[in-house]
Structure formats: C-alpha cells, structure tokens
Amino acid sequence: MLSRDAPLLYVLRNDLELNAAKFGCGLAQCGACTVLVDGVAIRSCVMPVSQVAQSEVTTLEGLGTIAKLHPLQQAFIDEQAAQCGYCTNGMIMTAKALLDRNPRPTEAQVRDGLAGNLCRCGTHNRIVRAVLRAARANGRI
Amino acid sequence: MNAPHLTRRDFTAGLGGIVLAFSLMPDALTQQPPRLPGSLNNNRLLSAWLAINADGTATIFTGKVELGQGILTALCQIAAEELDLPLARVKIISGDTGRTPNEGQTAGSLSVQNSGTALRLAGAEVRSILLDLAAKKLGVAADNLKVADGTIAAADGRKVTYGELAREADLKREATGKVAPKPPAQHRVVGQSSPRVDLPAKVTGGAAFATASTCCRAGTWPTPSGQVLHAREDRRASSATAIRSRLTTYRGSASPAT
Ligand code: FES
Ligand code: FES
C-alpha cells in the first residue's frame, strides 16, 4: 500500500520499476532523481507522490528508446557524455526542461541550467557539449 | 629396543633436507597445473570466457563490472581484436555470478590486466581452434587461410564462417595460454577510441546498474561492485520493458492508495 507521502522516486523505482531516475542524495541536492512534472524538472526524491496525482510525469524512459533515441539521448552518446552514468538521468531531464524553455541556449546558459546537477565523475564539459549539440539538432519533442 | 640414535644436529639437518626437497619439487610432481596469465589462471576453461554463436557473433564473459571506467568496451575491443570479429558482433556478459568467471573484485585498475589478458589469450586460442576446424573442412593448411570479420577464406576463394563452425568448436577445454596473441602493430580495434557499449542503456534508463535489480527484495545483498545480479535480472528487465511499453509516461492520476 502506498503512503501519500511516499516520494515519487520510490514509487517510480520500486512500484513501477522505472529505474531511470536515480537515488543519489535523497535530499534534493544532487539532481540524480530528476523527472518532469507537467514539463517542469523536479526532484522526485522529495516530491510526495500525492502531489503529482493530477499531473503528467515524464521519466527518461519516456523520452526515447535505444531504437528511437531522443535528440538529447543521441547527443549524450555522440559526445560520450558519461562515465558511470549515474547523473545522466538528471542531466538529460534537466536539459530537456531547459531546451523546452530555451531552444537555443548559450553555453553559459547551459552551464547555469545544469549547475544544480552534480556529476561525481567529472563529465561536466562533455555534458555541456552534448546539450549544445542537441540544441543545434533542435532537440525538442 | 634398537632405536636409532638421533642427535639434535642430525635431526635438524634432516629437516633441512626435507624442506629443500619440497621447495625444489617440479610442477609436474606436485600436480600443480602450470600458471596461466591473468584471470585465466583461476578460470581455465575457454568456455568460461568465450562462446561462438551460430549467428556468427561471439559472447564474452567477464567477472569485472562496469563502474564508468569503460571496461566492458575495452574487453569487447580486446576480444574482437583477437577473434578478427567486428566490434558490433561481440556481446559481453558481465558480473552475472551464474555465468561469468569469478574474478573477485573490480578494483585497483586490474580489470584490463587480469580480465583483458585472459580474454586476449582465450580469444587467440579460440581463433586458432576455429582456424584448425576450417583447415580440416576446406582441406587446406591453416597457415594458408585468411580470417576477416569472422569469415575464414582459402586462397581459392572457398569460405567458412565462425557461425558455421560454432557447433563443432569444443571450447569446454582448458586454455593452454600458448597461442600467441596479435602483436600490437597489427591491432586495428585495440588502441582506437570506440563508443562505450554501456551508454545506450544509461541514456535511456535501461538496466545498467545493480540498483535496478530486484534481487534485494528476495533477500540477497549486492556486493559493493554489484556482482550479485543473477538470472533474476532478466526477469526484471523484461518486466520493466513491458511496463515501459505500456507506460512510458506515468500519469500520477493512477492515484496512490492512501
Ligand atoms: S536524489 Fe534527489 S536530488 Fe539527489
Ligand atoms: S558520469 Fe558519473 S556521476 Fe556523472
């Protein structure tokens, strides 16, 4: 039985087995758990599931598949923008919301937009390049 | 009683003799199998490392796991190089305790050194086994055969593929470690940058991490390097795919029970 307070992240991972969103800190500090709620990037580790009951939740699984990649996913592969890949979900989902708001961001805007997403491996520069590449490819759905 | 008189000096000298005799005993007498390089030493069957499939692909097995260091890609490159197969036709199974060789931890920058060495030598040996089979089939000396992209060809143009030889190739035998791998000057795959084989799953939320396995619920615990993943992972993967196809976008209004 789900509690109304259950974090959305737990419901996604444990109940729906949608494992793209990751548990990093559980404290809204790292961004690994980012999903879109009605198009806005939020941290699902601190979002009670009851608060999204009337909303559309999009996870990384919903962007594209290996057979049919979203331009952002393609750009992350093209730039080889991951080491362990644990932050990748949050990077892509945050970038998705960013590009939806601002399809042609400058590099500074991308850096700013991803500033709250931590990458322990140090892949940041490739990630920024990937987002800019996706923007050039007009990465909007 | 007629017990032999044994002085302390005699006794100690005798001990020395015994110790020396053991330490100089050759391998054959102590029945120790010869030491093989890398992880081949503890996982000696060729089939522990490699399978040649009827569709012409190879499946390779490693006890090392991907932590972001790119090891799955590197090991695929090493095997593809020795087998003369395109990288795309090498699939890797990693850290599945039911199927992969036990290589202990993934740590200390030892994966290429230990797993890579094993796959390199096993790959070279399997290639030579396939060559010998092809030589018999085509009635040509193995030296006169050429291998490219998993196809073995005689000078007169007759060919046989790895896939066609897959069933006859008996890999359930100990590696000898004696077939020389390619000299680095002949490398075409190793030494080139290859796209990471694990990234497609990672950018799409696929099964790429130990935390996506359901084994914990069944009461098993993952090791720090994630090597607990068992057959169960497949079940999880297929159910996740099923869920994903129904529900790529999860509508929260599927309302949480209170
Ligand atoms: S797990 Fe949610 S922000 Fe770190
Ligand atoms: S790639 Fe490892 S945390 Fe970013």
Instruction: Give residue B23's pLDDT.
Output: 54
Looking at the CA of B66, which ligand is closest?
A: 2
Chain B positions touching A6 (Cβ under 8 A) are: 256
Amino acid at B9: R
**Structural contact between residues B50 and B126, judged by C-beta atoms closer than 8 angstroms:** yes
pLDDT for position B255:
31
3-state secondary structure (DSSP) of residue B85: coil
Chain A hits for B236, CB-CB cut-off 8 Å, are: 17
Q: Which CATH class is domain B40-186?
A: alpha beta
Question: Mind telling me how many Å the CA of B50 is from chain A's nearest CA?
Answer: 26
Give residue for tokens 């990672």.
Answer: B202
Mean pLDDT over A44-65 rounds to 91
Q: What is the DSSP string of B13-45?
A: HHHHHHHHHHHT--HHHHTPPPP-SGGGGTS-B
User: pLDDT tens, position by position, for chain B (258 residues)?
Assistant: 455 566 666 655 555 544 444 455 555 566 788 999 999 999 999 999 999 999 999 999 999 999 999 999 999 999 999 999 999 999 999 988 889 999 999 999 999 999 999 999 999 999 999 999 999 999 999 999 999 999 999 999 999 999 999 999 999 999 999 999 999 999 999 999 999 999 999 999 988 887 776 543 333 333 333 333 232 333 344 444 433 333 333 333 333 333
Q: What is the pLDDT of residue A4?
A: 78
pLDDT tens-digit readout, A76-130: 999 999 999 999 999 999 999 999 999 999 999 999 999 999 999 999 999 999 9
**CA terminus-to-terminus distance, chain B:** 92
Q: Determine the Cα–Cα distance for residues B215 and A96; give it in Å rounded to an integer.
A: 32
Give me the CATH topology for the region A8-61: Ubiquitin-like (UB roll) (3.10.20)
Task: Give residue A31 CA to ligand 1 midpoint distance, Å.
Answer: 5
Question: Is there a contact between A57 and B257 if contact means CB atoms under 8 Å apart?
Answer: no
Ramachandran angles phi, psi of B147, nearest 5°: -115, 130
Mutate to test the pocket of ligand 1, among A35, A43, A117 (most ligand atoms within 8 A of CB): A43
pLDDT digits (tens, 9 = 90+) for A14-40: 888 889 999 999 999 999 999 999 999
What percent of chain A has a predicted confidence (pLDDT) above 70? 96
Q: Where does residue B221 rank: exposed (0-12), middle (13-18), buried (19+ CB within 10 A)?
A: exposed
DSSP count for chain B of H helices, then E strands: 8, 7
- Shortest-distance Cα residue to atom 4 of ligand 2: A119
Q: Do B239 and A17 touch (CB under 8 A)?
A: yes
Residue A12: what residue type?
A: L
pLDDT value of position A119? 98
What's the confidence (pLDDT) of residue B31? Answer: 77
Q: Which amino acid is at B105?
A: Q
The answer to whether residue B245 neighbours chain A at the CB level (below 8 Å) is no
Residue A139 clears pLDDT 70, i.e. is over it: no
Question: How far is the C-alpha of A113 from the C-alpha of A99, rounded, in Å?
Answer: 10
Architecture of the domain spanning A62-138:
Orthogonal Bundle (1.10)
CB-CB under 8 Å, A85 with B202: yes
pLDDT band at A54 (very low <50, low <70, confident <90, very high): confident
The residues facing B251 across adjacent strands are A56
Q: How far is A128 from chain B, CA to nearest CA, in Å? A: 15
Ligand 2 pocket, CB under 6 A: A 82-87, 119-121, 123; B 68
Q: Is B200 in contact with A22 (Cβ distance < 8 A)?
A: no
Ligand 1 mean position, distance from CA B129 (Å) = 52
CA separation for the pair A133, A71 (Å, rounded): 9
Residue boundaries of the structural domains of chain A: 8-61, 62-138
Q: How many CB atoms lie within 10 A of CB B88?
A: 10
Residues of A in contact with B202 (CB under 8 A): 82, 85, 88
Q: What is d(CA B212, CA B197) in angstroms, rounded to the nearest whole number?
A: 18
Structural contact between residues A7 and A47, judged by C-beta atoms closer than 8 angstroms: yes
ipTM metric: 0.95
Please list the residue range(s) of chain B that carry CATH number 3.30.365.10. Answer: 40-186
Query: What does the pLDDT read at residue B188?
Result: 96
Q: What are the residue ranges of helices labelled H in B84-116? A: 111
Burial of B188 (0-12, 13-18, 19+ CB in 10 A): exposed
Distance of CA B138 to the CA centre of its chain: 30
